[in-house]
Structure 1
């Protein structure tokens, strides 16, 4: 079941075109104070997660490898769901996710309104 998303709570920012993202490889996008790791799966789904490892050693996740809808964290060797950011068993934790809207070829990522600093595209 997909989470209910009230799009009125988000401002969506253009981060590129679908073709700008390489399948199974992460790309870092900065929106204001947010550093976001964006991934495209082999079935053309695009996911956006906070570029921060939930593991005890910290680090980033953009260098992770994608298999299906699972990200393999390069620092902790943990598996993270791209759908909801949940770390898969036997480990625990979660990565913040961001809503992605694809319209035509344009990819936009949503940030909660009134959260963080204001900036222009």
Structure 2
């Protein structure tokens, strides 16, 4: 696993307010060329992943079901760890992740200045 990039390598974009996001329900946001799925857990943790399923059938992740800190892919029911985008056994794969900042009531997502996401694999 690669180390996260320093914060200065990201540009943060406001994607809404805390109240715009429901617990355990993903929300799709577009930031420049990045299609991102944002999740708020029932424990108040925030995660952002590339809104693209790593599964063989493709699809998006924003419609997935969140249980704790695991996302269930809505098409193939793969389990994806929200913290680092890692697909859990017995399946394999990885999804790009993006840092989330809460500033006051604003939700901000960090997009790498080089245009990619955290490549954790």
**What TM-score results when the alignment is normalised by the length of structure 2?**
0.89
After superposing the two structures, state which structure 1 stretch, 4-13 or 40-49, moved more: 4-13
Report the number of matched residues. 114
Which 4+ runs in 1 deviate beyond 3 A? Answer: none
Structure 2 unmatched ranges of 5 or more: 117-121
1:43 shift after superposition: 1.1
SS of equivalent residue, structure 2 residue 77: coil
Distance 2:10 2:97 in 1: 13
The answer to whether residue 46 in structure 2 is matched with residue 46 in structure 1 is yes
Tell me the residue number matched to 2:104.
Answer: 104
Structure 1 residues 20-99: aligned runs within 5 Å: 20-99=20-99
Write the distance in 1 (CA, Å) between the matches of 2:110 and 2:57: 28
**Deviation of the 1:73 alpha carbon:** 0.4
- The whole-number CA distance in structure 1 between the counterparts of 2:51 and 2:103 is 24
Shift of 1:31: 0.6
Whole-Å separation in 2 of the counterparts to 1:75 and 1:43: 25
Distance 1:97 1:85 in 2: 6
Quick one: distance in 2 between partners of 1:114 and 1:83? 21
Partners of 2:4 and 2:115 in 1: CA distance: 19
Aligned to 1:12: 12
- Flag structure 1 segments of 5+ consecutive residues without an equivalent: 117-121
Local SS of the residue matching 1:66: strand
Q: Aligned equivalents of 1:108 and 1:85: distance in 2? A: 19
